[in-house]
Amino acid sequence: MNTASIISIKNMTKRFPVGKGEFTALENINLEFGEGEFAGLVGPSGSGKTTLLNIIGSLDSPTEGTATVMGKNIAQLSHKESALLRNLHIGFIFQSYNLLPVYTVFENVEFALLLQNHTASERRKAVMDALEWVGLTDKVKSKPAMLSGGEGQRVAIARAMVKRPKILLADEPSANLDAKNSHQILKTMKQLNKELKTTFIFSTHDEKVMQYLDRTISLADGKVVKDELTVAANAG
């Protein structure tokens, strides 16, 4: 199953300064992720899921140990280099969709491509493809305020996927959605995972999300307590 490893975390610890002391959010983590994985971090609130995703996303860096993403050691990246890593290879999806309210659906998705060098027609094609993946080609001109929650999150998925990143990090993507919409977006993401070989890593409490995972990593108090391959019940 594991093809080339694209994320490699070794003996990694993350501490935050709190008052005069320190708080250990992650402790001695060892994890590998390969291309095309569909994995999830589960665990109670405060167990360190978001912290781990932020480090993989090069938004934060480890205190000890190493995290290597796409061959880059996160701790050693400059601000510029980590921005480039995100720009080229990493997509994010959040609990709240964080669409920019003044822009249309099309423009929100296009925004992700503006930092890369594409012509307007290349961008147009890529955006329309991405909106097709999530089934929103009829909403290109809508403003975010006019969308339902499910539609909003689908736009966010299109925005994260439009540049065809190697890695997609989704922090509680279904937390604001009802069951029907949760299933719908997970099916969409599973589909993209298969077609584009993107590695998906979720953070979730949501049973519905867990059903779709190929691999479930349980965190508790900043430690990995279980890491198992799961049979995706809803697969396909």
Ligand X SMILES: Nc1ncnc2c1ncn2[C@@H]1O[C@H](COP(=O)(O)OP(=O)(O)OP(=O)(O)O)[C@@H](O)[C@H]1O
Query: Which residues would be at the binding site for another protein (CB under 8 A)?
Result: 50, 54, 57, 59-60, 79-80, 82-88, 90, 92, 94-96, 98, 100-103, 107, 111-112, 114-115, 171
Tell me which of Mg ion, ligand X, another protein, none is bound by residue 20, counting a contact when its beta carbon lies within the kind-specific cut-off of 5 to 8 angstroms.
none
Min separation Cβ 173 and ligand X, Å? 12
For the chain, the distance separating the N- and C-terminal CA atoms, rounded to the nearest angstrom, is 18
Q: Are 9 and 29 in contact (CB under 8 A)?
A: yes
Q: In the set 46, 116, 122, 225, which binds ligand X (CB under 6 A)? A: 46
The answer to whether 49 contacts ligand X (rule: CB under 6 A) is yes
Burial label for 170, CB within 10 Å (0-12, 13-18, 19+), is buried
Tell me which of another protein, ligand X, Mg ion, none is bound by residue 71, counting a contact when its beta carbon lies within the kind-specific cut-off of 5 to 8 angstroms.
none
Longest dimension (CA), the chain: 54
Query: Of the two residues 50 and 174, which places its CB atom closer to ligand X in the complex?
Result: 50
Strands (E), the chain: 5-18, 21-34, 38-42, 64-69, 72-73, 90-93, 167-171, 199-204, 215-220, 223-229
**Rounded-to-integer distance, Cα 94 and Cα 104, Å:** 19
The residue among 64, 83, 197 whose CA lies nearest residue 72 is 83
Q: In the set 38, 40, 50, 177, which binds Mg ion (CB under 5 A)? A: 50
Select from 32-40, 46-54, 139-147, 153-161 the region that touches ligand X (CB under 6 A): 46-54
Q: In the set 3, 11, 16, 226, which binds ligand X (CB under 6 A)? A: 16
Tell me which of another protein, Mg ion, ligand X, none is bound by residue 18, counting a contact when its beta carbon lies within the kind-specific cut-off of 5 to 8 angstroms.
ligand X
